[in-house]
């Protein structure tokens, strides 16, 4: 299927390009480029969100009735691709892209009125409390317990790998409200304030030296029953609905093409028969194939069809290629790929070696995570085996 843009869509692309030219500052671009974590630098993302919010564009994928852009899927794709190309930060998805669709569908009027505007303006910063030690891929086995006590729940347990919990003032959590039924049937979806007494956030430092993820502990945390989203014990449906939005939607191929352009420049003086150059050529072709798949998928979505298992295939390909490119970049910069050079950069200190070497090792190390979060590679393979191969 071909993705051909209409006159209106091309005019919209010009509008996006001119906003990027006018409003995207060198500081925001640098903040984004220098960060090597999965979600990127949150200061740069917040500064970019403030600009978009002023323009009415922070709710990229939101319907108009909730203060969003009401854009079509093609407009969203154009917007995301242009932002990637220009070096704009990704908006932090935890509230805007993950929780928001849940509140649109399952939230009460009060919840919609209270939370949605504060998500757009970034007054609230959300984190996701799904995974627990021992409950990642097998998420439904989660044990964090919520027991009703009058008009409150009392929550006890722990969540792990909680991205940006150190910045968040709110967490959306899956909790067990009934331990005596089939595991999927006893889960509820709760919104919890991070300054509630009994919550402790412990940092987990990644191999690259970054603080992006955390473990969050709940010790007799009291949460108003009004903070329940959807019916009690039906949180599994809410959780699955949210995951559909976690696992799709962005213009990944464009970002990989930007990285490939950088790699191609680095290697331009090497002879064609050099082993690194040959592997880079193969990767160039694979990225071009992913880009074609992404536009095919976009055309499918724009015509009202479901991406189906295609989104699992794309997720797997994108994470593998991202890791492959990170490896090539590290080999290409060899002696400049100094571990933790990025820390020096973030702390405003002098770095060692050329500019491209500053973040390469950290990017390489952090890229390992992309085949785990948002559904591990093997789990995606299981989905493909079931729905495409009928196994």
Ligand X SMILES: Cc1cc2nc3c(=O)[nH]c(=O)nc-3n(C[C@H](O)[C@H](O)[C@H](O)COP(=O)(O)OP(=O)(O)OC[C@H]3O[C@@H](n4cnc5c(N)ncnc54)[C@H](O)[C@@H]3O)c2cc1C
CB closer to ligand X, 27 vs 378: 378
Nearest approach, Cβ of residue 290 and ligand X (Å): 21
Minimum Å gap between C-beta 297 and ligand X is: 23
Radius of gyration of the chain (CA): 22
* Closest CB 382 distance from ligand X, rounded Å: 5
Rounded to a whole number of angstroms, the minimum distance from the CB of residue 261 to ligand X is 26
Kindly tell me the burial class for residue 288, based on how many C-beta atoms sit within 10 Å of its own C-beta (0-12, 13-18, 19 or more): middle
| Nearest approach, Cβ of residue 235 and ligand X (Å) | 13
Whole-number Å distance between alpha carbons of 97 and 155: 26
Q: Which is nearer to ligand X, 161 or 364 (CB)?
A: 161
Please tell me the distance from the alpha carbon of residue 249 to that of residue 238, in angstroms, as a whole number.
Answer: 19
CA–CA distance, 356 with 217 (Å, rounded to integer): 39
| CA gap 60, 66 in Å, rounded | 11
Q: Looking at beta carbons only, is 44 or 369 nearer to ligand X?
A: 369
Token duo for residue 299? 């055309």
Q: Of the candidates 217, 103, 231, 66, which has an alpha carbon nearest to the alpha carbon of residue 155?
A: 217
DSSP letter for each residue of 106-172: H--HHHHHHHHHHHHTTSS-EEEE--BTTBSTTGGG---EEEEETTEEEEEEEEES-TTTTT-SEEE
Tokens (6 digits) for 124? 């609230």
Positions that interact with ligand X (CB under 6 A): 38, 127-131, 136-137, 161-163, 213, 369, 372-373, 376-379, 382
Q: Is residue 246 among the annotated active site residues?
A: yes
Q: Which of 246, 262, 286, 331 is catalytic?
A: 246
Q: Which is nearer to ligand X, 251 or 369 (CB)?
A: 369
Instruction: Return all residues near 255 (Cβ < 8 A) that are at least 6 apart.
Output: 84
183 vs 377, beta carbon nearer ligand X? 377
Q: How far is the CB of 129 from ligand X (least distance, A)?
A: 6
> Of all residues in this chain, which one has the CB nearest to ligand X in the complex?
136
DSSP 35-99: --SSS--HHHHHHHHHHHHHHT-S-TT--GGGTS----HHHHHHHHHHHHHHTPPPPPHIIIIII
Query: 45: which 2 tokens?
Result: 């993302």
User: Least distance in Å: CB of 152 to ligand X?
Assistant: 23
User: Between 219 and 378, whose beta carbon lies closer to ligand X?
Assistant: 378
Other beta carbons within 10 angstroms of residue 304's beta carbon come to: 7
Residue (242 or 263) nearer to ligand X, CB: 242
Q: Which residues are catalytic?
A: 246
């Amino acid at each position: 299927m071909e993705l051909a843009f209409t006159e209106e869509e091309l005019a919209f692309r010009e509008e996006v390009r001119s906003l990027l030219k006018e409003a995207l500052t060198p500081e925001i671009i640098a903040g984004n480029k220098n960060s090597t974590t999965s979600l990127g630098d949150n200061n740069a993302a917040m500064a970019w969100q403030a600009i978009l919010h002023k323009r009415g564009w922070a709710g990229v994928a939101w319907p108009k009735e909730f203060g969003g852009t009401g854009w079509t899927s093609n407009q969203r794709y154009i917007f995301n691709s242009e932002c990637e190309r220009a070096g704009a930060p990704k908006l932090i998805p935890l509230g805007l892209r993950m929780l928001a669709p849940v509140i649109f569908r399952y939230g009460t009027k009060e919840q919609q009125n209270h939370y949605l505007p504060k998500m757009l303006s970034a007054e609230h910063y959300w984190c996701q409390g799904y995974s627990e030690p021992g409950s990642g891929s097998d998420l439904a086995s989660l044990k964090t317990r919520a027991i009703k006590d009058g008009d409150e729940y009392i929550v006890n347990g722990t969540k792990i790998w909680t991205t940006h919990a150190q910045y968040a003032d709110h967490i959306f959590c899956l909790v067990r409200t009934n331990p005596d039924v089939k595991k999927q049937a006893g889960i509820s979806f709760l919104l919890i304030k991070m300054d509630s007494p009994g919550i402790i956030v412990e940092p987990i430092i990644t191999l690259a030296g970054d603080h992006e993820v955390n473990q969050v502990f709940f010790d007799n945390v009291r949460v108003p029953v009004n903070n329940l989203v959807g019916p009690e014990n039906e949180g599994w449906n809410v959780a699955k609905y949210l995951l559909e939005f976690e696992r799709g939607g962005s213009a990944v191929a464009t970002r990989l093409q930007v990285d490939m352009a950088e790699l191609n420049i680095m290697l331009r003086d090497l002879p064609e028969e050099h082993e690194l150059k040959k592997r880079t050529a193969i990767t160039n072709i694979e990225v071009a194939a992913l880009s074609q798949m992404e536009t095919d998928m976009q055309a499918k979505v724009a015509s009202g069809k479901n991406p189906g298992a295609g989104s699992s295939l794309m997720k797997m390909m994108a994470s593998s290629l991202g890791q492959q490119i990170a490896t090539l970049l590290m080999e290409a910069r060899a002696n400049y790929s100094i571990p933790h050079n990025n820390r020096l950069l973030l702390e405003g200190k002098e770095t060692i070696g050329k500019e491209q070497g500053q973040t390469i090792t950290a990017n390489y190390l952090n890229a390992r995570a992309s085949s785990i979060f948002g559904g591990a590679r093997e789990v995606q393979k299981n989905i493909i085996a079931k729905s495409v191969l009928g196994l």
